[in-house]
Amino acid sequence: MTSDAAQSAPAGKPDAVLRVKEIGSAHVGGRSVSLHGLPAREIVFSPGNPPVTIDPNGDFEIEQMYVQYVRLESPRARYPLLLVHGGGLCGVTYETKPDGLPGWQDWFLRAGHDVYVADAVERGRASWARSPEFFRGEPVFRTKAEAWELFRIGPDGSWRTAAEQRQAHADGRFPADAFDQFMKQSIPRWSSNDAAIQAAYGELAQRYGPFVVVAHSQGCNFAFAMALAHPGMVKAVVAVEPSGFPDRCGHVLAQIRHVPHLFVWGDHIETSAMWVRVRQGLDAYRDALRDAGVVVDELDLPALGICGNSHMLMMDSNSDAVAALLHGWMAKQGLTNG
């Protein structure tokens, strides 16, 4: 999108009052498994109660995902919006922001979209399974320092334990005073569950789609692959600072010629060696999509004069304005009535 296109993108008319038809949720995907041969042990569940013998062997459901949906009485968008979170996070990414202000779930509902918010396998209300019996390896825990710098809230080397000593980007739009609150939503992740996560997203698409998918960071890889595996169930992909992409050759990408893609980038990428490498890989994937005939647009915010956005654009102080740009792009693709 050019600067002129960004400035003229219709913001829609978010409703002051939401008229909701249904709020619901579901667990999707997963499989039945059995466990044998582990020793029983005694546990006291509540102080003062006698110990109970627990046998960990038996039958379980694992690798399911969770999705919450809010359906409007009179949606103005042609397809529901599926909001896909990034790595080490869950669907709360799109709910109330760490500073207490409304997030993208609220904004897009008021703009006329039915909205589905996902918790992928192992995240949030999707729940865990035993490790290492079912989830291979150990969970990865993200430190506050890693998040502060990786999410470009402050430059490399700017993290300090004491809040008053941290150095955020001078033009940063992330509410740095709410960073500790933000880190309360950090969730351990496994690096071995991608196949299960992808399978659950595929079942979600088949059961509840078609969707317009707005994905963030690690979640973009699952969104890209969902479009390739279920091209009839994905009407568009909005990739907000993607961190990965499928390994697909041109003739495979050509099957999603009808699925427009939008890549969205925040600021200060050039200050992070890791993000420079990530961006190069995603630029190559963007070009491969275009070569295959896919409509691909790019919303590079600093190139448009919109400066200071972090990796967490949906939590930044201008998150409503960014959402309006995404909504305008969807309108341009014929996916919403404004």
Task: Reply yes or no on whether the pLDDT at 5 is more than 60.
Answer: no
Return the pLDDT at 227: 96
Q: What is the DSSP letter of 38?
A: P
Return the pLDDT at 284: 94
Task: Reply yes or no on whether the pLDDT at 11 is more than 90.
Answer: no
* Residue 313, amino acid: L
105, 116, 123, 137: which is closest to 65 by C-alpha?
123
Residues 260, 236: Cα–Cα separation, whole Å: 5
Return the pLDDT at 248: 73
Mean pLDDT of 285-289: 95
Per residue in 108-119, pLDDT (tens digit) is 999 999 999 999
Task: Reply yes or no on whether the pLDDT at 246 is more than 70.
Answer: yes
Q: What is the DSSP letter of 46?
A: S
Per residue in 55-84, pLDDT (tens digit) is 999 999 999 999 999 999 999 999 999 999
In a domain, 337, yes or no: no
In a domain, 11, yes or no: yes
- pTM for this entry: 0.93
Q: 48 or 218, which is more confident?
A: 218
Decide: residue 24, CB within 10 A, 0-12 exposed, 13-18 middle, 19+ buried.
exposed
Return the pLDDT at 9: 40
How many domains are contained in the chain?
1
Return the pLDDT at 8: 37
CA 312 and chain centroid, separation: 10
CATH code of the domain in which 69 resides: 3.40.50.1820
In a domain, 45, yes or no: yes
In a domain, 86, yes or no: yes
Mean pLDDT of 260-270: 97
Return the pLDDT at 142: 97
User: Residue 108 sits in which domain range?
Assistant: 3-332
In a domain, 260, yes or no: yes
Work out whether the CA dihedral 266, 272, 275, 279 comes out positive or negative: positive
In a domain, 311, yes or no: yes
Task: Reply yes or no on whether the pLDDT at 106 is more than 70.
Answer: yes
In a domain, 338, yes or no: no
In a domain, 68, yes or no: yes
